Amino acid sequence: MRKWTIPSVLLLFLLLATLPDQGRKLQAKAEDESDAPVDPPKVEEKLGAVPNGLSTDSDVAKREAESISRRSIRSSAEKFEFQAEVFFLFEFQALDKIRFLSLTDKEVLGEGDNAKLEIQIKLDKEKKILSIRDRGIGMTKEDLIKNLGTIAKSGTSAFVEKMQTSGDLNLIGQFGVGFYSVYLVSDYVEVISKHNDDKQYVWESKADGAFAISEDTWNEPLGRGTEIRLHLRDEAGEYLEESKLKDLVKKYSEFINFPISIWASKEVDVEVPADEDESSEEEKDESTSSEDEETEKGEEEDEDSEKKPKTKTVKETTYEWELLNDVKAIWLRSPKEVTEEEYTKFYHSLAKDFGDEKPLSWSHFNAEGDVEFKAVLFVPPKAPHDLYESYYNANKSNLKLYVRRVFISDEFDELLPKYLNFLMGLVDSDTLPLNVSREMLQQHSSLKTIKKKLIRKALDMIRKIAEEDPDESTDKEKKDVEKASDDEKRGQYSKFWNEFGKSIKLGIIEDAANRNRLAKLLRFESTKSDGKLTSLDQYISRMKKGQKDIFYITGSSKEQLEKSPFLERLKKKSYEVIFFTDPVDEYLMQYLMDYEDKKFQNVSKEGLKLGKDSKDKELKESFKELTKWWKGALANENVDDVKISNRLDNTPCVVVTSKYGWSANMERIMQSQTLSDANKQAYMRGKRVLEINPRHPIIKELQERVVKDAEDEDVKQTAQLIYQTALMESGFTLSDPKDFASRIYSTVKSSLNISPDAAVEEEVDVEEVEAESETKDEGSAKDDADTESSTVKDEL
């Protein structure tokens, strides 16, 4: 059975079936339309004068109006019942088919307008008709019966019933009756088609379980191709708006190979004869500065006015064909043939970003094999402001899926993982089917293969940014790279990392299969990077001889970490330590356990190894009494042990955590969580270990005091204060800040030779002082008055 379907049908399917909101508004009336005739719509006056239009002269328009007026199947037409045995398949092949045939037989295209392989859309607001026409291969009478008379097994009525029940337009794909979605917005449909091997026929139906076919003797001869006319319902008025149709075509069919045009209106300035009254008023309004100077000029103007009639400029509405898909599908071309300017223009069109910035990089490739597809991926110059908001809940993707250049969706999470959702681009597959719902398409086995290849290409594209950046090269490579690279590529990877670095870290957490690839893209600062970003490969190249672990430390800022006591011995021995200052880094390092056979070691946790020291055993033995005593003194502080430290130089002691427990930075992050679980925090906090510096004078003096009198309260208070101070310096939060402050004030008193029993002076009540003062003032005033009175008496 031949199934040469038309691009107009598929375009219509895309215009209607992909709009669930409109479908839900109209589906309830899918079967309630009356058979009563309606008034004939008015015929457009200038329709016959339209170049390449969809109608010809007034006689043809009159015959069209007569056929439309009844909106019912002609009694003379041959009637058929819909068949329900063969699955209906849509293919975008009518224009491709005729073009293919023309390769061996040029005469099949014909001449003039018939040779133009295009699609035209026209609307008539007065008659509520939406027309879509193509110049494809067309359909014979037999094709019309087989192609448009075949629906899914449940039939049209079952389809409409299902639509009314569920309101899900994705059922269109499942039923395979995309063409019949037209009845969601129209109550009467005509399909006019002309095949080179047959006469011109009209297929018409009201979706009432039957259709009719007639030889077309009243419409404009198509020459070849198909025209669909939808007689829209009142509720579907939005499809009579040019802007709506333009948006739909540009969204879903922007990259179709064949031109798609719409009969669009526009206002132009036109010169028309001016009325005499208006001309005289304009002349009165004109003023002259000097009669003598303007006399000669006025005479010349009078002569010109006699030759040229007075005119005025008015706005007039004109119509012309406007091309809607003018952006070229560059992914169909060879990457070698596409220029940088074309890639940039295509990116701006795809991203709807018309600024001056170029994408940081792009990858254009064709995948062949069991699954064939073409793709173009772009790295945007800037990250969206809401990139990480609702990261795990958002379904928005920047990757568009096309099937044979027809837009399907941009909401397929199966194409790229979430951590790469910042990439822009598209995928065009010839393997995926067109006539299934999006839900069914998401389950298609080919998507897994496409996703795997896309991830690999995306990571290679990002890696290429680093390879081409002179600032990313090692000293040995810099000379060669600087010669081959220009200034535009310098600093590009640093720019990428600042915008999208968090996405790479999230990828390491989420994508175990590509964890090593992603780790190569990691960037960070370190104790030896001089304020610049460095990579794990560069870190390994600078590792000391015999160093087995990659050292790192986590915290809230680089400035804070540079002063950390955990780095003292490492810096002294010239070990490089990585700074991780992003909150996500704590989660990252739980998944990134090793790299290139090198283990990661948090220098603020147990297990730090810096080589063997021959004096270690002696030190442990000599401080055994102190460590044992101090452990007992801190029994209530959740301290698991007190040990001799191998990481300190100038600091008396620090508090480290167990290897698999939370670090101090992780505790701070978890405590700031709004919905954090206190019980889980207590469990994950792990044990703390106090490490002491045996060479520090405070520790030496404390040991002597403990040996002398282990029960001395002053010694216990001092040991407690030292521990609390170490706890704060190590990044932990004190459980009882008031107790710590009291100990500090006691120490200050001692240093100032203030007695520990010295009390704070009691404050005098302000109100009492004020009352006493007022009483004294009143008494003083009375004494002054008495004295003055006595003086006056003496004088008299």
* Higher pLDDT among residues 795 and 257, named by residue: 257
- Sequence-separated (6 or more) residues with CB below 8 Å from residue 145: 80, 213
Residue with tokens 């990428």: 496
Label residue 303 by pLDDT band (50, 70, 90).
low
Q: Where are the extended beta strands (E) located within 24-154?
A: 78-81, 119-124, 129-134
Q: Which two tokens stand for residue 476?
A: 């040995």
Q: Which DSSP symbol is given to 222?
A: -
Closest CA to 424 of 449, 454, 448, 445: 454
Q: Which DSSP symbol is given to 385?
A: T
Label residue 556 by pLDDT band (50, 70, 90).
very high
Outline where 648-765 has alpha helix (H): 664-671, 678-684, 697-708, 713-729, 737-751
d(CA 508, CA 413): 18
pTM, to two decimals: 0.68
d(CA 508, CA 417): 12
Q: Which contacts (CB < 8 Å, 24+ apart) does range 730-735 have?
A: 730/565, 730/566, 730/604, 730/654, 730/655, 730/656, 730/664, 731/555, 731/564, 731/604, 731/663, 731/664, 731/665, 731/668, 732/655, 732/664, 732/667, 732/688, 733/667, 733/668, 733/671
Q: Which two tokens stand for residue 70?
A: 């009844």
Contact 406, 138 (CB under 8 A): no
pLDDT mean over 491-504: 95
Sign of CA dihedral 431, 433, 437, 443: negative
Chain-centroid distance of CA 688 in Å reads 43
CA angle (427, 432, 436) in 5-degree steps: 120
* Percent of the chain at pLDDT exceeding 70: 71
Tell me what the pLDDT averaged over the chain comes to: 78
Most confident of 227-231, 287-291, 293-297: 227-231
- Sequence-separated (6 or more) residues with CB below 8 Å from residue 571: 527, 577
Q: Which two tokens stand for residue 568?
A: 């003292």
Closest CA to 222 of 45, 5, 60, 46: 60
DSSP strand pairing (525-526 vs 210-215): unpaired
Closest CA to 664 of 643, 631, 645, 686: 686
d(CA 623, CA 39): 107
Contact 271, 313 (CB under 8 A): yes
Label residue 437 by pLDDT band (50, 70, 90).
low
d(CA 217, CA 220): 8
pLDDT mean over 783-795: 54
d(CA 472, CA 491): 8
Chain-centroid distance of CA 724 in Å reads 47
Strand partners, 8: none
Closest CA to 16 of 150, 204, 185, 253: 185
Strand partners, 215: 201
Contact 246, 105 (CB under 8 A): no
Chain-centroid distance of CA 349 in Å reads 16
Render pLDDT for 363-412 as a digit per residue (tens, 0 to 9): 999 998 888 999 999 999 998 888 888 777 766 678 888 888 777 887 77
Q: Where are the extended beta strands (E) located within 119-185?
A: 119-124, 129-134
Least confident window among 140-144, 188-192, 213-217, 392-396 = 392-396
Contact 604, 664 (CB under 8 A): yes
Q: Which two tokens stand for residue 788?
A: 């003055």
CB atoms within 10 A of CB 431: 18
Q: Which two tokens stand for residue 356?
A: 């001056």
- Sequence-separated (6 or more) residues with CB below 8 Å from residue 709: 715
What are φ and ψ of residue 765, in 5° steps? -65, 125
Q: How far is CA 159 from CA 156, 184, 207, 387, in A?
A: 5, 11, 11, 40
DSSP strand pairing (210-215 vs 78-81): antiparallel
Q: Is the pLDDT of residue 177 over 60?
A: no
* Higher pLDDT among residues 48 and 218, named by residue: 218
What are φ and ψ of residue 237, in 5° steps? -60, -25
Strand partners, 315: 269
Q: Is the pLDDT of residue 192 over 60?
A: yes
Label residue 258 by pLDDT band (50, 70, 90).
confident
Render pLDDT for 498-532 as a digit per residue (tens, 0 to 9): 999 999 999 999 999 999 999 999 999 999 999 99
Contact 81, 210 (CB under 8 A): yes
Q: Is the pLDDT of residue 608 over 80?
A: yes
**Predicted local distance difference test score (pLDDT) of residue 697:** 95
Half-sphere exposure (CA, 13 Å, Cβ side) for 631? 15
Render pLDDT for 93-104 as a digit per residue (tens, 0 to 9): 576 677 777 777
d(CA 466, CA 497): 10
Chain-centroid distance of CA 682 in Å reads 38
Closest CA to 378 of 491, 464, 254: 464
- Helix and strand totals (H; E) in the chain: 28, 22
Q: Is the pLDDT of residue 640 over 60?
A: yes
Contact 366, 374 (CB under 8 A): yes
* Percent of the chain at pLDDT exceeding 90: 35
Render pLDDT for 345-356 as a digit per residue (tens, 0 to 9): 889 888 877 678
**Predicted local distance difference test score (pLDDT) of residue 79:** 63
d(CA 329, CA 343): 11
- Sequence-separated (6 or more) residues with CB below 8 Å from residue 475: none
Q: Which two tokens stand for residue 23?
A: 């479908």
Least confident window among 81-90, 207-216, 300-309 = 81-90
d(CA 313, CA 19): 42
Least confident window among 247-251, 342-346, 582-586, 640-644 = 247-251
Q: Which two tokens stand for residue 642?
A: 């007190």
